[in-house]
A and B are shown apart, each in its own frame.
Chain A
Amino acid sequence: GENVEQHPSTLSVQEGDSAVIKCTYSDSASNYFPWYKQELGKRPQLIIDIRSNVGEKKDQRIAVTLNKTAKHFSLHITETQPEDSAVYFCAAGGKGSQGNLIFGKGTKLSVKP
Protein backbone atom coordinates (compact mmCIF):
# COMPACT_ATOMS: atom_id res chain seq x y z
CA GLY A 1 0.00 0.00 0.00
CA GLU A 2 0.86 3.67 -0.02
CA ASN A 3 3.38 5.08 2.43
CA VAL A 4 3.89 8.81 2.91
CA GLU A 5 6.92 10.35 4.57
CA GLN A 6 6.83 14.00 5.65
CA HIS A 7 9.66 16.30 6.76
CA PRO A 8 10.40 18.19 8.87
CA SER A 9 8.27 17.27 11.88
CA THR A 10 8.66 20.76 13.31
CA LEU A 11 9.53 24.02 11.58
CA SER A 12 10.02 27.43 13.12
CA VAL A 13 10.36 30.54 10.96
CA GLN A 14 10.31 34.29 11.43
CA GLU A 15 7.30 36.19 10.20
CA GLY A 16 7.81 37.11 6.57
CA ASP A 17 10.15 34.22 5.80
CA SER A 18 9.24 31.26 3.60
CA ALA A 19 8.44 27.77 4.83
CA VAL A 20 8.89 24.56 2.87
CA ILE A 21 7.52 21.15 3.81
CA LYS A 22 8.40 18.06 1.82
CA CYS A 23 6.69 14.72 1.34
CA THR A 24 7.57 11.54 -0.48
CA TYR A 25 5.22 8.73 -1.42
CA SER A 26 5.73 5.14 -2.46
CA ASP A 27 2.84 4.18 -4.74
CA SER A 28 3.39 5.41 -8.29
CA ALA A 29 -0.34 4.91 -8.99
CA SER A 30 -1.30 7.69 -6.57
CA ASN A 31 -2.62 10.66 -8.49
CA TYR A 32 -3.99 13.10 -5.94
CA PHE A 33 -1.91 15.05 -3.42
CA PRO A 34 -3.72 17.39 -1.03
CA TRP A 35 -2.32 19.46 1.79
CA TYR A 36 -4.31 20.06 4.95
CA LYS A 37 -3.90 22.59 7.74
CA GLN A 38 -5.07 21.59 11.19
CA GLU A 39 -5.29 24.08 14.03
CA LEU A 40 -5.36 22.80 17.58
CA GLY A 41 -8.62 21.00 18.36
CA LYS A 42 -10.08 21.62 14.93
CA ARG A 43 -10.73 19.60 11.82
CA PRO A 44 -8.18 19.49 9.00
CA GLN A 45 -8.90 22.01 6.28
CA LEU A 46 -7.78 21.60 2.69
CA ILE A 47 -5.46 24.44 1.70
CA ILE A 48 -4.25 23.30 -1.69
CA ASP A 49 -4.13 20.14 -3.79
CA ILE A 50 -2.44 18.96 -6.93
CA ARG A 51 -3.12 16.18 -9.35
CA SER A 52 -0.57 14.13 -11.19
CA ASN A 53 -1.08 15.82 -14.52
CA VAL A 54 0.22 19.11 -13.10
CA GLY A 55 3.72 19.93 -11.87
CA GLU A 56 3.02 23.08 -9.91
CA LYS A 57 0.03 24.94 -8.54
CA LYS A 58 -0.12 28.28 -6.77
CA ASP A 59 -2.77 30.04 -4.71
CA GLN A 60 -1.64 33.42 -3.39
CA ARG A 61 1.07 32.73 -0.77
CA ILE A 62 0.78 28.96 -1.04
CA ALA A 63 2.25 26.76 -3.75
CA VAL A 64 2.69 23.04 -4.24
CA THR A 65 5.13 21.31 -6.55
CA LEU A 66 4.98 17.69 -7.66
CA ASN A 67 7.72 15.50 -9.10
CA LYS A 68 6.12 12.23 -10.17
CA THR A 69 9.37 10.69 -11.32
CA ALA A 70 10.95 11.14 -7.92
CA LYS A 71 7.63 10.62 -6.12
CA HIS A 72 7.83 13.72 -4.01
CA PHE A 73 5.81 16.86 -3.55
CA SER A 74 6.35 20.00 -1.53
CA LEU A 75 4.37 22.79 0.08
CA HIS A 76 5.75 26.31 -0.09
CA ILE A 77 4.39 29.14 2.02
CA THR A 78 5.80 32.59 1.31
CA GLU A 79 5.58 35.73 3.45
CA THR A 80 4.55 33.67 6.47
CA GLN A 81 2.26 35.20 9.07
CA PRO A 82 1.61 34.17 12.70
CA GLU A 83 -1.81 32.85 11.69
CA ASP A 84 -0.05 30.31 9.46
CA SER A 85 1.05 28.56 12.66
CA ALA A 86 -0.60 25.10 12.67
CA VAL A 87 0.08 21.48 11.86
CA TYR A 88 0.26 20.75 8.15
CA PHE A 89 -0.41 17.31 6.71
CA CYS A 90 0.35 16.07 3.25
CA ALA A 91 -1.53 13.13 1.79
CA ALA A 92 -1.34 10.90 -1.24
CA GLY A 93 -3.86 8.66 -2.84
CA GLY A 94 -6.79 8.94 -5.15
CA LYS A 95 -6.26 5.84 -7.21
CA GLY A 96 -9.25 3.74 -8.09
CA SER A 97 -12.78 4.05 -6.79
CA GLN A 98 -11.69 3.96 -3.16
CA GLY A 99 -9.09 6.64 -3.51
CA ASN A 100 -7.92 6.26 0.08
CA LEU A 101 -5.84 9.15 1.31
CA ILE A 102 -2.78 8.20 3.31
CA PHE A 103 -1.43 11.02 5.43
CA GLY A 104 2.08 12.04 6.37
CA LYS A 105 2.92 12.43 10.05
CA GLY A 106 2.49 16.17 9.99
CA THR A 107 4.67 19.25 10.38
CA LYS A 108 4.14 21.67 13.23
CA LEU A 109 4.83 25.11 11.80
CA SER A 110 5.48 27.99 14.18
CA VAL A 111 5.72 31.50 12.78
CA LYS A 112 7.32 33.89 15.22
CA PRO A 113 6.29 37.56 15.04
Chain B
Amino acid sequence: GAVVSQHPSRVICKSGTSVKIECRSLDFQATTMFWYRQFPKQSLMLMATSNEGSKATYEQGVEKDKFLINHASLTLSTLTVTSAHPEDSSFYICSARAGAGGTEAFFGQGTRLTVV
Protein backbone atom coordinates (compact mmCIF):
# COMPACT_ATOMS: atom_id res chain seq x y z
CA GLY B 1 0.00 0.00 0.00
CA ALA B 2 0.88 3.65 -0.16
CA VAL B 3 3.08 5.26 2.50
CA VAL B 4 2.09 8.12 4.75
CA SER B 5 4.77 9.52 7.02
CA GLN B 6 3.95 11.55 10.10
CA HIS B 7 6.40 13.50 12.24
CA PRO B 8 7.26 13.78 14.99
CA SER B 9 6.21 10.46 16.50
CA ARG B 10 6.47 11.86 20.01
CA VAL B 11 6.63 15.39 21.34
CA ILE B 12 6.61 16.90 24.79
CA CYS B 13 5.95 20.60 25.07
CA LYS B 14 5.30 23.16 27.74
CA SER B 15 1.86 24.53 28.35
CA GLY B 16 1.22 27.64 26.26
CA THR B 17 3.55 26.73 23.41
CA SER B 18 2.60 25.58 19.91
CA VAL B 19 3.40 22.29 18.26
CA LYS B 20 3.41 21.47 14.56
CA ILE B 21 2.79 17.96 13.26
CA GLU B 22 3.54 17.05 9.65
CA CYS B 23 1.82 14.46 7.51
CA ARG B 24 3.39 13.52 4.19
CA SER B 25 2.27 11.18 1.45
CA LEU B 26 5.52 9.70 0.16
CA ASP B 27 4.55 7.90 -3.01
CA PHE B 28 1.24 9.37 -4.07
CA GLN B 29 -0.53 12.69 -4.31
CA ALA B 30 -3.05 13.11 -1.54
CA THR B 31 -6.05 15.09 -2.67
CA THR B 32 -7.58 14.81 0.77
CA MET B 33 -6.02 14.44 4.20
CA PHE B 34 -7.78 13.75 7.46
CA TRP B 35 -6.71 14.51 11.00
CA TYR B 36 -7.87 12.35 13.88
CA ARG B 37 -7.44 12.38 17.62
CA GLN B 38 -7.35 9.17 19.62
CA PHE B 39 -7.59 8.95 23.39
CA PRO B 40 -6.26 5.83 25.15
CA LYS B 41 -8.37 2.77 24.41
CA GLN B 42 -10.80 4.84 22.38
CA SER B 43 -11.70 5.25 18.76
CA LEU B 44 -10.44 7.63 16.15
CA MET B 45 -12.29 10.92 16.31
CA LEU B 46 -12.24 12.92 13.10
CA MET B 47 -11.08 16.47 13.75
CA ALA B 48 -10.94 17.95 10.28
CA THR B 49 -10.67 17.25 6.59
CA SER B 50 -8.40 19.19 4.31
CA ASN B 51 -8.14 19.40 0.56
CA GLU B 52 -5.05 20.75 -1.11
CA GLY B 53 -5.23 24.50 -1.61
CA SER B 54 -8.44 25.10 0.30
CA LYS B 55 -9.48 25.69 3.87
CA ALA B 56 -9.97 22.72 6.13
CA THR B 57 -13.43 21.57 7.12
CA TYR B 58 -13.63 21.10 10.86
CA GLU B 59 -15.91 18.72 12.71
CA GLN B 60 -18.36 20.11 15.21
CA GLY B 61 -16.73 20.94 18.51
CA VAL B 62 -13.20 21.27 17.12
CA GLU B 63 -11.73 24.74 17.53
CA LYS B 64 -10.29 25.81 14.20
CA ASP B 65 -8.27 28.61 15.79
CA LYS B 66 -6.62 26.17 18.14
CA PHE B 67 -5.99 23.37 15.67
CA LEU B 68 -4.61 25.04 12.57
CA ILE B 69 -4.49 22.88 9.48
CA ASN B 70 -2.59 23.71 6.33
CA HIS B 71 -2.61 21.57 3.20
CA ALA B 72 -0.24 23.55 1.04
CA SER B 73 0.70 20.81 -1.41
CA LEU B 74 -0.55 17.46 -2.63
CA THR B 75 1.96 15.67 -0.43
CA LEU B 76 1.96 17.67 2.80
CA SER B 77 -0.55 18.66 5.43
CA THR B 78 0.32 20.15 8.81
CA LEU B 79 -1.58 20.36 12.08
CA THR B 80 -0.49 23.04 14.53
CA VAL B 81 -1.77 22.83 18.07
CA THR B 82 -1.61 26.42 19.28
CA SER B 83 -1.26 27.47 22.92
CA ALA B 84 -1.25 23.84 23.98
CA HIS B 85 -2.67 22.82 27.35
CA PRO B 86 -2.44 19.52 29.23
CA GLU B 87 -5.94 18.55 28.04
CA ASP B 88 -4.61 18.64 24.48
CA SER B 89 -2.36 15.71 25.31
CA SER B 90 -3.41 12.89 23.03
CA PHE B 91 -2.48 10.71 20.08
CA TYR B 92 -2.93 12.60 16.83
CA ILE B 93 -2.99 10.66 13.59
CA CYS B 94 -3.42 11.68 9.97
CA SER B 95 -4.61 9.78 6.98
CA ALA B 96 -4.36 10.56 3.29
CA ARG B 97 -6.37 9.56 0.27
CA ALA B 98 -5.46 9.83 -3.38
CA GLY B 99 -8.81 9.51 -5.02
CA ALA B 100 -12.35 10.65 -4.40
CA GLY B 101 -14.62 9.43 -1.65
CA GLY B 102 -14.87 5.67 -1.49
CA THR B 103 -11.19 4.96 -1.93
CA GLU B 104 -8.74 3.66 0.62
CA ALA B 105 -7.14 6.06 3.06
CA PHE B 106 -3.68 5.36 4.47
CA PHE B 107 -2.65 6.30 7.98
CA GLY B 108 0.46 7.94 9.28
CA GLN B 109 2.16 6.42 12.31
CA GLY B 110 0.67 8.98 14.66
CA THR B 111 2.08 11.58 17.05
CA ARG B 112 1.97 11.21 20.80
CA LEU B 113 1.63 14.76 22.19
CA THR B 114 2.25 15.38 25.88
CA VAL B 115 1.74 18.88 27.23
CA VAL B 116 3.32 19.52 30.60
Q: Which residues of A contact B (CB under 8 A)?
A: 31-32, 34, 36, 42-46, 49, 51, 89, 93-106, 108
Asked if residues A32 and B49 are in contact (CB atoms below 8 Å), the reply is no
Chain A residues with CB under 8 A of B1: 46
Query: Is the CB–CB distance between B108 and A43 below 8 Å?
Result: yes
In addition to A44-B93, A96-B101, A106-B43, 7 A-B residue pairs with Cβ atoms within 8 Å of each other are: A36-B107, A43-B108, A43-B110, A89-B43, A89-B44, A100-B46, A105-B43
- Chain B 70-113 interface residues, beta-carbon cutoff 8 Å to A: 93, 95, 97, 100-110
Contacts of A106 in B (CB 8 A): 42-43
B57 adjacent to chain A (CB < 8 Å) = yes
Chain B residues whose CB sits within 8 angstroms of the CB of A32 once the complex forms: 101-103
- Please report the C-alpha to C-alpha distance between residue A46 and residue B97 in the assembled complex, in whole angstroms: 13
Q: Given A34-B104, A98-B101, do A104 and B43 touch, yes or no (CB 8 Å)? A: yes
Number of interface residues of B (CB under 8 A): 26
Is A98 a contact partner of B57 (Cβ separation < 8 A)? yes
Residues on A with C-beta less than 8 A from B101 are 31-32, 93-100
In the assembled complex, how far is the CB of residue B30 from the closest CB belonging to chain A, in whole angstroms? 13
Whole-angstrom distance between the alpha carbons of A56 and B107 in the complex?
25
| Residues of the A chain whose Cβ atoms lie less than 8 Å from the Cβ of B34 | 100-101
Q: Give the residue name and chain of the B residue nearest to A102 (CB).
A: B46
Look across to chain A and name the residue whose beta carbon is closest to the beta carbon of B31: A97
Contacts of B104 in A (CB 8 A): 34, 46, 49
Q: Confirm or deny: B25 has a beta carbon within 8 angstroms of a beta carbon on chain A.
A: no
Q: Is the CB of A99 within 8 A of B32?
A: yes
Q: With contacts A93-B101, A101-B34 known, is A43 near B43, CB below 8 A?
A: no
Q: How far is the CB of A45 from chain B (nearest CB, A)?
A: 8
Nearest-neighbour CB distance to chain A for B44, whole angstroms, equals: 5
With contact pairs A43-B107, A46-B1 given, residues A99 and B100 touching in the complex (Cβ less than 8 Å): yes
Known A98-B32, A98-B57, A106-B42; judge A31-B102 contact (CB<8 A).
Answer: yes
